[in-house]
Chain A
Amino acid sequence: MRREVPLLITAIVGITFVVSYFIPHFPFNRMDAWFADWFSIIAACAIVLGALNLIKLSAQKVLDRKEDWVYSLVIIFSFILITVIGFWEGRDYRDPGTAFDWLYNNMYNPLSATMFSILAFFVASASYRAFRARNFEATLLLIAAFLVMIGRVPVGDFFTSFMPEGYRFSDLANWIMDYPQTAGQRAIMIGIGLGVVSTSLRVILGIERAHIGSGE
């Protein structure tokens, strides 16, 4: 039963969603919002499980003095600090001037920005490996990337300023982005669309059921 019931719920919800796409009449036009509300409620309950799991694992690491246990201590401390301050300041905890807001702007934002900014260095190192002319396709990629990059900066058009308009580096870069790149991207998107429909159908029909688990 613990396997059949989730399968039945999945099938009913899935079919309802498909049908509601074609029926604008009430109640089908509200299904989206209702299911989204239910999902939020379930997710809100599950977040407690997630938070408890995080604290449990971190606490175990600290108690057992496992390698790098200090990082786990930082997690526990940060978790408790932000939760206590959030609850202490009540519903207005995100207003300017609150301690929560200060922590958000002066701790969380800089940390987040740091993570995002290292992406630039990783793009450089990954590009270096990807753009090596190992074979014909990689050479083609290298040339296309070079043309797009030089076409996106003013110096590209400076070098080709003697060419008539429409034949400069920026025009070439735009052509690559508008035609070969868009064609490739659309091919991938069509495949993804079909893949999503196919997987959805498998889930609705109960053929794909690994995500339901053992049910024991």
Chain B
Amino acid sequence: MTPVDTLEANARPLPPTDVTVKDTPNDGGGAITVAWNPSPDDHKGGKVKGYSVFRAEYIDDQPGEFTLVGERPAGKDEYSNDDGNTADGIRYVYKVAALNRVTTETGEVREFVSESAVTLPVTSSPQWFHKRRVNVMVAVILLSFFIVYYIRQAKAGKKLFIRRIAGMEAVDEAVGRATEMGKKIFYISGLGDMDNMQTIASLTILGRVAELAAEYETYLDVPVCRSLVMVTGREVVKEAYSKAGRPDAFKPDQVHYLTDDQFGYAAAVDGMFVREKPATIFYMGQFYAESLILAETGNSIGAIQIAGTAMPAQLPFFVAACDYTLIGEELFAASSYLSKEPKLLGSLKGQDIGKGIILVALIIGVILESFGVWQLSNLFMVK
């Protein structure tokens, strides 16, 4: 044997085996999943550096020219073209090659490739249902059922018990304080835009605060950092003033735009706080690092502050710097709580039932999994 033949005999890996192909499940089409048994030489210190996946169209029961479509490192046994570059309806065949690279004594890099057999033809197609999301669907249906059920109960006149939320109880007091002191109220709706559920919840609370402010004849200032929130916020405040019987007191410029920039907004609002020294400040919505900058400035001027956000990282800041904080779900519950409308309170009750179900599942799951009986947590995996 020549030295080259010896090198080849030593360096060429065995090919991967049992290459199977299938239409990638639960996708919008355009993807095929290829799986294989790794080469027997694929182990630590073995002869496999990686795998190359080749594809060809299968026309007239013949494979066309194979082209390289993907690569995987050693140890992997699956490939899927998640970029969706296969055409649905076209038949494809695949082969997978194990690859080794060797640097010879002369410094030349040589590649040794061993190809698997060609697979059976496969076609990609889109699916009409994501089977791995059945659990989410069941949860949504269950929760929706409870919410709708309790809304109907509330409409029928059944009295529903809703636990007290201290932060919401304080809204009247906070607005009253501003009235007594003859100072402004500031309402900060956070950095979220109108596609954010926290902003929608915030604007609903704004409606209630604006109604109170209109009744008490206290000036409500709403500086916002999103132009769409400005437009929507104006409508909300305008309606609240009309509801309170004070449409004449509404001024469109009460809800005004500052900037989309996070710290520019924080600086502008801080400046307004320091110059105008409001008696009451509300922070409701989505906040990031600016939360403490705003809340500490508000605290330093002695304003009563009520905050609410569903951003877990900002909650400690608000708890530390504000008088009352609506924690997470309380922000979403606040609008229902403030309105006292049966329909909204009913939805709150349905939400609590959902929480109860999760609580029971958690307790059962902890017991089952602690004793290794059953992996209940798998039921709650979202893919």
Contacts and interface: CB of A to CB of B under 8 A. Distances in A.
A211 B253 contact: no
A24 B350 contact: no
A210 B203 contact: yes
A24 B327 CA distance: 35
B242 A119 contact: no
Contact of A210 (B207, B231, B316, B358): B207
Contacts of A161: none
B181 interface: no
A178 interface: no
A125 B194 CA distance: 33
Main secondary structure of the interface of A (DSSP, over half): helix
Interface in B286-308: 289-290, 292-293, 295-296, 299
B197 A200 contact: yes
16 contacts: A21-B133, A22-B136, A24-B126, A26-B29, A29-B28, A56-B253, A118-B293, A126-B299, A191-B328, A192-B328, A194-B351, A195-B310, A195-B331, A210-B206, A210-B335, A214-B238
B228 A46 contact: yes
Given A119-B293, A201-B144, A208-B204, A23 B129 contact: yes
A57 B256 contact: yes
Interface stretch (B12-20, B51-59, B258-266): B258-266
A8 interface: no
Nearest to A197: B143
B41 interface: no
B130 A195 contact: no
B151 interface: yes
Contacts of B27: 24
Chain A interface size, as a band, is 35 or more
Name which of A21, A119, A200 has the most chain B CB atoms within 10 A of its CB.
A119
A146 B10 CA distance: 60
Nearest to B250: A214
B328 A195 contact: yes
Contacts of B5: none
A129 interface: yes
Contact of A185 (B227, B261, B264, B312): B312
Contact of A126 (B226, B290, B321, B358): B321
A196 to B, nearest CB: 5
A25 B130 CA distance: 9
B236 A211 contact: yes
Contacts of B204: 208, 210-211
Contacts of A208: 200, 204, 335, 344
B332 A195 contact: yes
Nearest to B239: A214
Name which of A47, A185, A214 has the most chain B CB atoms within 10 A of its CB.
A214
A122 to B, nearest CB: 4
